């Protein structure tokens, strides 16, 4: 009796396992979207500028390894990398302002202006990356 069912069970087990493995493994396009959303979340939740700079550097490295399968995905990836890099520069300028500019009005003004410019540019590029992937991003920490 068991022998009659064995081929059917084996066929069922094989059929269940024969789904496309590509459907289970995120494609680079999906991973680009995941990294974009993860980075956006980090920008919104991490308030320690040193830690944020490090996290964004990791995301840029991951995005740099990915290759989109479509022109849109590749463009979104490029915009995301540019956006996270600009955000890192803006965060670095904020750190320079808070750590190095006490009593130096000219340096403080320069660092504050630079931080605002880079953070605005980063947010704009990240929103453009999101738009390419049909994701609405909105404001990023006031930018």
**pLDDT tens-digit readout, 112-124:** 899 999 999 999 9
pLDDT in tens, 66-106: 998 999 999 999 999 999 999 999 999 999 888 876 677 88
pLDDT grade, residue 9 (50/70/90)? very low
pLDDT of residue 26: 64
Contacts of 143 (CB under 8 A, 6+ apart): 116, 119, 120, 122, 123
How far apart (Å, rounded) are the C-alpha atoms in residues 61 and 68?
Answer: 15
Domain extents for the chain? 28-132
CA-nearest of 110, 113, 53 to 85 is: 53
Contacts of 88 (CB under 8 A, 6+ apart): 53, 56, 57, 60, 122
Identify the weakest region by mean pLDDT among 12-21, 26-35, 44-53, 54-63: 12-21
pLDDT of residue 2: 46
Give pTM, 2 decimals. Answer: 0.79
pLDDT of residue 45: 96
pLDDT of residue 101: 61
pLDDT grade, residue 15 (50/70/90)? very low
């Amino acid at each position: 009796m068991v022998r009659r069912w064995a081929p059917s069970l084996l066929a069922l087990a094989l059929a269940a396992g024969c789904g496309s493995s590509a459907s289970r493994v995120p494609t680079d396009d999906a991973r680009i979207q995941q990294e974009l959303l993860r980075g956006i979340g980090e920008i919104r939740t991490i308030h320690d500028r040193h830690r944020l700079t490090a996290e964004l550097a990791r995301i840029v490295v991951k995005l740099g390894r990915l290759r989109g399968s479509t022109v849109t995905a590749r463009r979104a990836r490029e915009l995301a990398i540019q956006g996270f890099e600009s955000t890192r520069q803006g965060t670095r300028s904020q750190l320079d302002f808070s750590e190095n500019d006490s009593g130096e009005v000219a340096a403080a003004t320069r660092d504050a202006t630079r931080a605002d410019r880079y953070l605005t540019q980063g947010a704009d590029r990240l929103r453009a990356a999101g738009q390419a992937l049909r994701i609405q991003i909105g404001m990023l920490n006031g930018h």
